[in-house]
Amino acid sequence: MSAAMPTLTIGILSSQCLVWLGLQKILESSATVPMVVLPHQERTSDRLFAECRPDVFILDLETERDAIGIIQQIREAVPSSKIVLLCGLGDKDRTREAFAAGVDGIILKVQPPEVVLAVIEALYAAAKPSTAPERETAGKIGLELAFTRQVESDPPQTAWPEALTEREREIIRLVKQGLSNKDIAYKLSISDSTVRHHMTSIFDKVGVPNRQKLLIHAHHVRATAV
């Protein structure tokens, strides 16, 4: 019997309570990685950095004026934590500065919950790995996923390949709902190995390497149905 998956703890640095509550609802709804958002802090504090030691910090660029200073504080107090920047499309210069200061990923406020979860789940392996090589590899994956080209401009609309079968399209719809392979297998009354086979076929046909990139592609397609 496999060990229980460790919980990912997340600290949200934002002075807007609605932003904190919205992100908490999204993150704690994850069906693949158990996440817990730490109690709301109205202002950043040494206690949040040093005592709570979240696995991931989400930094709201629009409400935290000294973003660079906060990033430096986190790096000094909790060097193992990942930092994800939450920003809008209008803050390109500050986003570049913060990115250069050492954030691990970026979430745009225009992105849907599925993409937000995909970014954090991609960083999950980077927050929990047991060896340095694993940490470096996982960090690069999370960074590549999180820093989407939408920071520069809206991506061109794409389309789903016609080669996708109806079953594969059905599985994509379930993936977009946040279901794990095990949940999909149960819902469709098929085996886990069959779901994995379908997922491999979907990745090949769509041209993506993993589940998170599939979610990003789904967002770029902007279609109501697959």
Instruction: For residue range 94-119, list pLDDT tens digits in order.
Output: 888 887 787 888 888 877 888 888 88
* Residue 125 confidence (pLDDT): 57
Full domain range(s) for residue 25: 8-151
Do 147 and 185 have their domain in common? no
* Domain annotation covers residue 161: no
Residue 157 covered by a domain = no
Note whether 35 and 134 are same-domain residues. Answer: yes
| Phi-psi category of residue 189: left, alpha or beta, with phi > 0 → left and psi -120 to 50 → alpha | left
Number of domains observed in the structure of the chain: 2
- Computed from CA positions of residues 29, 122, 6, 80, in that sequence, does the dihedral angle turn out positive or negative? negative
Distance CA 158, CA 218 (A): 9
Write down the pLDDT at residue 163. 92
Tally of CB atoms within 10 A around 148:
19
Residue 212 has pLDDT above 80, yes or no: no
Residue after which a domain boundary falls, among 125, 151, 177? 151
Query: What is the SS3 assignment for 10?
Result: strand
Type of residue at 48: L
Residue 217 belongs to some domain of the structure = yes
Q: Where does a domain end: 120, 151, 182? A: 151
Does residue 142 sit in the same domain as residue 170?
A: no
pLDDT beyond 60 at 156: no
